[in-house]
Amino acid sequence: MTESDQPSVPLSVLLADPALALRQVAGPVGDHRVSTVGTTEIEDPSPYLVGGELLLTAGVRLPLDAEGVDTYVRRVVAAGVTALGFGVVPVHDEVPPELVAACDRHGLPLLRLPPATPFVAVGQATYAAIAEVRNRELREISRAQSALAAAAARPDALRAVLTQLSGHTGAWAVLHDARGHELFSAGPRPAPPTPGRVRDLAVRTIARVRTGAAGPSVPAAAAAADHQGGTHLTVHTLPGADGTATALALGQAATTAPTLVHRQVTGTAAVLLALLTSPRHALGTDTHSAGALVRLMLGATPADVAASLAPAGTTEDAGHWVVVHGRHASPRSAQGDDPAQLATLGTALGTPYLYIDGSELKALVAGAPDARPEVPAQAADLGWVLGFSTPAPASDLAHADVRAGRALQRAIAAQVPAVVDTRDPLTVHGIVPSTEARDLARTRFAPLDGAASPGAFVLLDTLRTWLTLHGSWDRTAAALHVHRNTVRHRLARIAELLDVDLQAPGVRMELWFALHWLPDEDQDSSD
């Protein structure tokens, strides 16, 4: 999550709360947004601020002279503080006039807290309001995703999905091919040259992704953005079923910057559009599969019909299957007949043989006896936690079903997107040969080798501690005996060097395993 994605509330919401009785006594009046509340009584709090705070103080260490007060205000403004709250009594009988003048001069809203309003009450009211904002965002995302899923089931699915996307984001939405041809569009068409700029950005992005411009070991970005003259352009390439990029891109043009809700809705639309433009999006079964179902219902055993269910071109390994169990992260109504859900998960897992019952999922995926089951990132993105068995013959499907269920329980307990049951040993690390695992880990963290101070060793130790503590900045800072801002800066540097989004569950899982696979001598070296 970027800083702009942090949930926040307008300062006016707190000013309108009669229980707080806050009053603005200086600074500009406007829709300034507060993302957190902090309390300080030190002379220079700026090193400990992250921006977006409503900073509360009783003025215990406030400078006594106008010049010192001006310096104090100038520093907190530079640190990104949204507003300053001053509590009167017992230190000051009233807000110092020097502070009022300085806040007016530097454009910092200054609030007066009456003696009856505790600082804690301000924090509680702020976080309650922020929680309500986030709940509204989640409800909006849920409504948009439901509308997109319904649109994907229509006969004119591509146009319907784009129409819903435009309606929920307020942006002009367009689907381009690799040559820049406009296939479908929805929403009010912007005036030239905006459509041409979207087309050019789409063509460049598709070309960069398909040619792997970032190098063979680092995937090129699947999205691009541009901002010019008050118009915000974004382009997302559509992912293919095999994990590569297709020759299509979803473009958007809006007069406002995309919000977290807009990005979530756009991501869902991109997945659905990729499925709808895939030759196998319907995930229908062929006559061999239908015949296998008839034989099963008439008394045949799974071993008898397994060959008929295997994908075309499979030979001696046709009778081996991976059983998948899944559970959605939140309670859901029964959606087993939802074509968008079935298409999305079926494509991600690489099989048409799946069944969804509310928040529960079961699937069969054909696999060679010694093959490692593929864990699709798309499933985690859609909120599914998965458990995989190892490939088993059709005659052993009952035992594979039990192993998949146990793997799912371990994934839920460990709070990871997926677990593969490897039997001996019961760990994901047993799937990958040790030599390949070490090479993968060294390659993954190679960009950190040339990192400036504090160096690769410290960055790796920070990343490992942060992942161990489930992404908590405060607990990581305490464990490493550093300030939380230091942790934030190190993680930002790691994300930049590795070109990853550390908030993505799949990325965290990948880096966690890579850290375990990193040779000891690489981890102990401080060069």
Q: What are the DSSP calls for 40-81, one per residue?
A: --SS--GGG--SSEEEEE--TT--SSHHHHHHHHHHHHHTT-
Please provide the size of the chain in residues: 527
| Greatest extent of the chain over all pairs of C-alpha atoms, in Å | 93
Which of 96-105, 213-222, 324-333 is most confident?
Answer: 96-105
Whether the upstream peptide bond of residue 90 has omega within 30° of 0, thus cis, is: yes
- pLDDT for residue 1: 44
DSSP label at residue 375 = -
Residue pLDDT, tens place only, 284-305: 445 556 666 666 767 777 777 7
- pLDDT for residue 157: 80
- How many other CB atoms are there within 10 angstroms of residue 484's CB atom? 16
- pLDDT for residue 15: 95
285, 314 contact by CB (below 8 A): no
Q: Residue 470 pLDDT more than 80?
A: yes
Residue pLDDT, tens place only, 318-369: 568 899 998 887 665 444 444 445 555 666 677 778 788 778 888 888 877 8
Q: Residue 119 pLDDT more than 60?
A: yes
Residue 410 to residue 246: CA distance in whole angstroms: 34
Name every residue whose Cβ is closer than 8 Å to that of residue 491 and which is 6 or more positions away in sequence: 462, 463, 466, 502
Name every residue whose Cβ is closer than 8 Å to that of residue 46 and which is 6 or more positions away in sequence: 75, 76, 78, 79
Mean per-residue pLDDT over the chain, rounded: 82
Residue pLDDT, tens place only, 176-208: 888 888 888 899 999 999 999 999 999 988 888
Residue 161 to residue 478: CA distance in whole angstroms: 47
Residue pLDDT, tens place only, 373-422: 878 776 776 678 899 988 888 878 888 888 888 788 778 877 788 888 76
- pLDDT for residue 338: 45
Residue 395 to residue 303: CA distance in whole angstroms: 5
